Amino acid sequence: MKQLHIFLENKPGRIERITAILAEAEINITAMTIQDTGEYGLFKVLLERPNEAQTILSEKGFACALKDVLAVRVADRPGELNRMVALLNSKGINIKDGHGFPRPNNESVFCAEVDDLAAVERVVSAAGYQLFEG
């Protein structure tokens, strides 16, 4: 799954500049998270038409990059996240940054930045998980 990472200074109004551009382009945002360092941060969004979104934001002068991230569908009930991360841990996979969001029908999506995504995707698929395709 492609996640768009956008560099932002930590100042009021910055995120709105991005959401306004995406709204204008009628691109739907599925999920988002913000990673902050105090002075600056990364605004990370899962959205429709990520390539188009990146092109538009680049043209508007934003420093942004598409990052392939792990996005896995898990059941929305106690213990499921634990089961997922335990699996990754058992294979020595480190989660660098992550977030999650609920979906209809008692389902959640777990998103994580990991090294060697293809191998990780094979691990979770082999364990019976389905990847989230947007």
Partner 1 sequence: MIWKSDIEQMEKEPLQELQSERLRSLLKYLSESNAIYRERLAEVSDISGVDIQSIDRLPFTTKEDMRDTYPFGLFSSPEKDILELHVSSGTTGNPTLVGYTKEDLDIWADAMARSLAVAGAKPADIIQIAYGYGLFTGGLGFHYGALEMGLRIIPTSSGQTRRQLKIMQDFQPRILACTPSYALYMADEARDLGLNTRESSWEIGIFGAEPWSDSIRKEIEEVWNITALDVYGLSEIIGPGVAQECPEKNGLHVYSDLFYPEVIDPDSGEQMPDGKPGELVLTTLTKRGIPLLRYRTRDIVTINHSRCGCGRTSPRISKVLGRTDDMIVVRGINVFPSQIEHVLMEIEGTQPHYQLVVDRQKNNMDSLEVLVEVEERFFSDEIKQLRAFQETVREAIQSTLGVGVKVRLMEPRSLERSQGKSKRVVDKRQFNQKEDQ
The residues binding partner 1 (CB under 8 A) are 5, 7-9, 14, 35, 37, 39-42, 58, 61-67, 96-97, 113
Residue number, 73 or 98, with CB nearest to partner 1:
98
Distance separating alpha carbons of residues 124 and 134, to the nearest angstrom: 17
Q: How far is the CB of 48 from partner 1 (least distance, A)?
A: 19
Residue number, 117 or 127, with CB nearest to partner 1:
117
CA dist list (Å): 22 to 5, 17, 40, 51, 78: 14, 9, 21, 12, 35
Residue number, 18 or 88, with CB nearest to partner 1:
18
Residue 103, exposed/middle/buried by CB under 10 A (0-12, 13-18, 19+)? Answer: middle
Q: How far is the CB of 86 from partner 1 (least distance, A)?
A: 25
